[in-house]
Chains A and B, each alone.
Chain A
Amino acid sequence: MKVIYTDVLIVGGGLAGLRVATGVKERGHDAIVLSLVPPKRSHSAAAQGGMQASLANSKMGEGDNEDVHFSDTIKGSDWGADQLVVRMFTHCAPKAIRELAHWGVPWSRVQKGDRSAIINAQKVTISEKEEAHGLITARDFGGTKKWRTCYTSDGTGHSMLFAMANKARQEEVEIHERMEAMSIVHENGRCFGVIARNLMNGELVAYIAKTTTIATGGYGRIYSVSTNAVICQGTAHAMVLETGIGTLGNMEAIQFHPTAIVPVGILTTEGCRGDGGLLLDKDGYRFMPDYEPDKKELASRDVVSRRMTEHMRKGKGVKSRYGDHLWLDITILGRKHIEKNLREVKEICENFLGIDPAEEWIPVRPTQHYSMGGIRTKYTGESQTIKGLYSCGEAACWDMHGFNRLGGNSVSETVVSGMLVAEYISDFLDSKESDMEIHSAKVESFLQKEQDKIDKLLTNTNGEDAYVLRRRMEEIMMEKVGIFRNAKDLKEAVDELEGLYKRSKNIEVFRSKSRAANPALFNAYRTQKMIKVALTAAMGAYLREESRGAHSREDFPARDDKNWLKRTITSWPDENQTLPTVTYEEIEINSMELPPGFRGYGKDLTEHHPDTKTKVDKVEMLTKDMQEKGMSRFEIQDKLMPFIDKLPKKYQGINERFGENI
């Protein structure tokens, strides 16, 4: 048995995983990163538009701060997020971006003087202050009060990932590439590492570590069309379920991005609309102002995706051989702007659609994009149920996004959660608590179990074809667990997925029997895992009888705080179960800084919780009182919901920003 020991094992080599690795290295701990692909090819690289951080450097960002970012994020989440976590996040986002600037990200900068921009289809002139010249600039994104999304053209994720990976290289973080985590080694509620499989030669390796962090991104590929990279399959989420004790949070909270190109589902950034692009229907008519007169194209993602779908249902979509779509018009931004700030979009249009977006409209439609749900953790990133197991980034549900994520908050979350979790892990490792003891026979039994599963897949006869099961699962998710959901479809989805799950136990790898780099083999075991994950999402959606953020039930159109202000928790305690176990975790109104309210889109249908009114009055009264006493925004915030002491010491400091605290 090959065993590799380390202090910190990290599964996933994207932004979140690499940031954890770098952080623990700085604190003197050893780290190994397991990655399916070379880390620089991780899906983080595909983030285009930008990273939210309330720097307030640009003219249109003036007046921005942590408070505004906090309130935008909570509203965006439809009050599903953990407010403590969001506070920690908004406080640290400026620090994370400055750190990345220091490590080499060429953030776009403020150019003093006049520049022209397109806002609400009008050409306007924005005058940037001389004193702000050369500081990091920002663009507009959906659901934000201020221009807060910092960027490098539309290759932000790429630049961040390369800087991060280079930093990890400098810190000599060990990267074990093309290694796939297969199962979590655990005993008595403590995680001891993973069994991993080398995708080049098929060897199984036991990685034993004091802490294990899962940073594997989302599970978008359970849908047949997704903007996600092909490796975003959620198999690590299934691995957590397979411990029997690990839990996942809000798996039904799945985001659809308004503007992926048709038919292949490749993303065109929200920056297109942030910079002034418009959505048009088959008549070339700009329809969003009719639905959302205030925010128009820049309403929150879930809202825009629903409005687009509604509009297409009215027969206003453009017919194509791949179904209806709408148009994204960025021609009004002009060629110069597109070639500077929307270069990836331009390349994508040229290569995949054969069009020039400076001349022609882009065919788009809402497409699966982001997983708000994930491995349920405490604010420290540690699993609520397995000691020594951590998760961060899109893979996790710590829970920063609730039921809808704001554009620009995901890459921001990766680096912020990575820097925080690295500190919490290091603190744990520095304590006696991290000591561990596990028998080699126990480790061997976990490895043997994986070996047996692979043997069975390769030697099974008269079995099922993994591709057939997988394609059906993808279709079910597309058709029945999509943007608009209802009980009938969801029930059918759960039933049919359960049937697929049972069949998946009898998968056979046909013809291709190699134990080494065998794509048929990895498709087989990944399909088994993906169906499990699909079931958690479908079950969660079926049971949640309300509409919140991206989870929109036609049969329950109102957000129902009275009954549903809670997180869905799924687990799989018994491996013979064919459906996940679902429980709920209350979201306490009393501990909130920003009590539930109206997001400001469409009609307010909210069914309020009885405690909401009392809490709203209390917060208002307190705030007014403290303002009258002349207390600072920091002092007021601290009274409403203290969070600073939860942060690692090194990140507790007050942020300087242009025009504040300097």
Chain B
Amino acid sequence: MSMDEKSRLLKISILRFDPHDPEDFPHMETFEIREAHGMTLYVALNEIREHHDNSLKFDFVCRAGICGSCSMLVNGRPSLACRTLTSKYDEHITLAPLPLFELIGDLSVYTGKWMRGLNKRLESWIHDKEEELNVDKLEERMEPALADEIYELDRCVECGCCVAGCGTAQMNPYFVGAVGLNKIARYQLDPRDKRSDDDYYELIGNEDGVFGCMTLLGCEDVCPKDLPLQSKIAYLRRMMIKNTLK
């Protein structure tokens, strides 16, 4: 770690709480560390854990912005911590766990459980009416442009940033969030999924689904994968309305 004189002394304030410790209560704790060249919050938090407080809880897996584990509030904004360079911030950085998800401790939240629940609720898998696949045969064809379009929506990493940045989700715990709506848009686009628009209406044609969205679009602002959430939510709404009118 470079310690040249010019490097800044970072003050990293973290909202801490260990729900397993009956004595503990939510509180802010500030750590001072010397900034290194190219330092990310992944590097900074590991340094704090290794040299200042080895009980600090956080989640990193790929540390490359690919797996979506490390979403947290960075100065109040839902972000992937691993790819957040400290150099882009003032020397005082505030970190808090992602809201709306079950807290495991400190910056670690249980997004996995929430997302699994969502996937079950929306049945986010290909519904192919039990067609038995013969794996020896040539694959089904797909228009190249369509495959690309599906991939675009398939890039969601279920990090939970869109849920944390969502006004509706703050008020309605049953709201599927942009992550859920994006999934429906993805499957609706996919010809391999044989669900009808009626089926999708059953899933999201209500206040907990596409009509719960207040169009504040915090989701699109904070999505680390730059998914086209705004246009997809608008599209789903038009589709759902069309479906009710038919």
A positions within 8 Å CB-CB of B: 37-43, 45-46, 55, 94-99, 101-104, 106-111, 133-137, 152-153, 155, 158-159, 162, 166-167, 169-170, 175, 177-178, 200-202, 229-231, 263-264, 266-267, 321, 340, 343-344, 347-348, 351-354, 467, 509-512, 514, 516-520, 523, 651, 653-658, 662
> Using an 8 Å CB-CB cutoff, how does the interface string of B73-107 with A read, 1 for contact, 0 for none?
00000000001010000000000000000001100
Q: Is the pair B61, A520 in contact by a Cβ cutoff of 8 Å?
A: no
Between B57, B61, B83, the greatest number of chain A beta carbons within 10 A of the residue's beta carbon is seen for B61
Residue of B38, B57, B136, B158 with highest tally of chain A CB at under 10 A: B136
Interface pair B138/A135, CB less than 8 Å apart: yes
26 contacts between A and B (CB under 8 A): A37-B67, A41-B67, A103-B125, A104-B125, A106-B151, A108-B147, A111-B144, A133-B141, A153-B148, A159-B154, A162-B154, A169-B119, A177-B112, A178-B104, A200-B104, A201-B20, A230-B63, A340-B148, A347-B65, A351-B65, A512-B54, A519-B54, A519-B57, A520-B55, A654-B136, A662-B138
A155 to B155, CA, bound (A): 8
Interface membership of B214, Cβ < 8 A: no
From B49, B56, B57, B59, residue with most partner A Cβ within 10 Å: B57
What are the nearest 9 A-B pairs in CB distance?
A38-B112, A134-B141, A512-B55, A95-B135, A520-B54, A516-B20, A351-B83, A106-B150, A653-B136
Residues of B within 8 A of A229 (CB): 61-63, 67
Given contacts A40-B115, A200-B104, A321-B2, 20 further A-B contacts (CB under 8 A): A37-B67, A38-B113, A38-B115, A38-B158, A41-B61, A42-B67, A102-B139, A153-B151, A155-B154, A155-B155, A158-B66, A177-B112, A229-B62, A267-B64, A321-B37, A344-B66, A352-B65, A511-B54, A512-B55, A516-B18
The answer to whether B116 touches A230 (Cβ under 8 A) is: no
Contact B64 A266 (CB under 8 A): yes
Note all chain A residues with C-beta closer than 8 A to B143.
109, 134
Give CA–CA (A96, B135) in the complex, Å.
7
User: Is B126 among interface residues, defined by CB-CB distance under 8 A?
Assistant: yes
Q: Answer whether residue B137 sits at the interface, using C-beta atoms and an 8 A cutoff.
A: yes
* Cross-chain contact A95 with B147 (CB below 8 angstroms): no
B residues near A514, Cβ cutoff 8 Å: 18, 20-21, 55
What are the residues of chain B within 8 A of A200 when measuring CB–CB? 104, 110
Residues of B within 8 A of A (CB): 2, 18, 20-21, 37-38, 40, 49-50, 53-57, 59-69, 83, 85, 104-105, 108, 110-113, 115-116, 119-120, 123-126, 128, 133, 135-144, 147-148, 150-151, 154-155, 157-158, 190, 192-193
Which residues of B lie under 8 Å from residue A170 when comparing CB positions? 123, 125
Q: Which listed residue (A38, A517, A655) contacts B111, Cβ 8 A? A: A38
Residue in B54, B135, B154 whose CB lies within 8 Å of A152: B154
> With a CB–CB cut-off of 8 A, which chain A residues contact B83?
347, 351-352
Which residues of A have CB within 8 Å of B142?
A: 106-107, 109, 134
